Amino acid sequence: MNGMLLILLSISFATICLGAEEKVLLRPFKTDGCTGWFDQSFKYDWKKCCVIHDLYFWAGGEKSDRKNADKKLRQCVKEVSNGFHDGLIYFGVKTGSLSPFKIPSKKWGNAWDEKFNDEILSPADINKIKKSLAGTINENPDLEEYISEEDMARFYQGLSRERASEEAP
């Protein structure tokens, strides 16, 4: 009996020391397009850019990943509009990031528990993201209007490349 208690205490201690808490996806991906802004003008449509930005925000990662996601949003809007709208949208995103009030479903890394919001995405995390998104896109076929297979490949490649560049010596 004492031996069994010692084994259980050892396992518990090792689990605590190793920080074996698993990162679990809490929320499926959802988007409303350009939160708090227009998805398009009379001449230009940049909703796709916002949906892809929402993907990055949902997946999360480190603060540098967030800056990259914001830059990608600005570049995408610039490519599909006249160069005026990208500045406005980027200003709105940057202003929102400074606000002390956050909409929970719009926070950086909102797929995860808050304690994991600013962590590096591991290969296991990226696999969880892929599995969750496959189900989400199957359940919401209208997302395919904004997210092509090519967009998804670039999204996953971006997540993996960011991880690979950080792991390089």
Q: Where along the chain do its domains lie?
A: 23-167
Query: Would you say residue 67 has pLDDT above 80?
Result: yes
Please give the Cα distance from 5 to 75 (Å, whole number). Answer: 59
104 or 54, higher pLDDT: 54
pLDDT-based confidence at 56, cuts 50/70/90? very high
Query: Would you say residue 163 has pLDDT above 90?
Result: no
Of the candidate ranges 16-20, 32-36, 49-53, 131-135, the one whose mean pLDDT is the lowest: 16-20
SS3 (DSSP) at 25: strand
Query: Would you say residue 108 has pLDDT above 90?
Result: no
Arithmetic mean of pLDDT over the chain? 78
Indicate the pTM of the whole model: 0.78
Please give the Cα distance from 155 to 65 (Å, whole number). Answer: 12
